Amino acid sequence: MLELVSVITITLLAVISPGADFAMVSRNSMFLSRRAGLLTALGISLGVLVHVTYSMLGIGLLISQSILLFNLVKFAGAAYLIWLGIGMLRSRKLDPQQVVAAPQLSDWQALRVGFLTNALNPKTTLFVVALFTQVISPDTATLTQLGYGLFMSAAHLFWFALVAYGLSSEAARGFVARSRHLIERAIGGVLVALGLGLAASSLQRS
């Protein structure tokens, strides 16, 4: 029972803490559409399953024990965040009518952005690996471990779906219509800062 409570508590705290996932769902929900935001949320939840899978296979333990391997993961995630952020920093001021134009991402692209943002997110790597190496006992049944993993994925989907619904409201989109380029640049700046922070921490450990 203590293991279950710990998994639930740590997962919920990790999910709602701000980060790259939140930034991408916010951006796609406000600037594109509710559908794009929800698909980004779905992609994020699928990305979580990548971390769960390698943790259950034991690769997560290897990552946690190898500074080189973990730094490689962090550098890949940092590069992706910086690339996304630079694209947003280059946002230009548009006519308000253009903000509510047809979505600029296909369903597949929105799903892929969410998936890659999470699958390459070292924060999620740390969170899932820590759970499977420090909280979940090796003696825990495989089906139970799988259940924990599915809960982590579902928690991400539920939370970010709520974010997508809230930030794609008429009020939010009206605010975006007036300040889109400033908001997008702000989100881009956050992503670049996250990426540079990850890269810097990796260099310090190497």
What b/e sequence results for 32-54 when a residue is b if at least 16 CB atoms lie within 10 Å of its CB, and e otherwise? Answer: bbbbbbbbbbbbbbbbbbbbbeb
Tell me the per-residue pLDDT of 14-50, one tens digit each, with 9 for 90 and over: 888 778 898 889 889 888 888 999 999 999 999 999 9
Residue ranges per structural domain of the chain: 22-204
**Could you give the C-alpha distances from 161 to 8, 12, 16, 94, in angstroms and in order?**
18, 14, 12, 27
Assign 103 a pLDDT band (cuts: 50, 70, 90): very low
CA–CA dist 88, 194 (Å, integer): 14
> Which runs of E-coded beta strand occur in 71-197?
none
Assign 99 a pLDDT band (cuts: 50, 70, 90): very low
Asked if 20 and 113 count as a contact pair (C-beta separation under 8 A), the reply is no
Its pTM stands at 0.74
CA–CA dist 170, 26 (Å, integer): 14
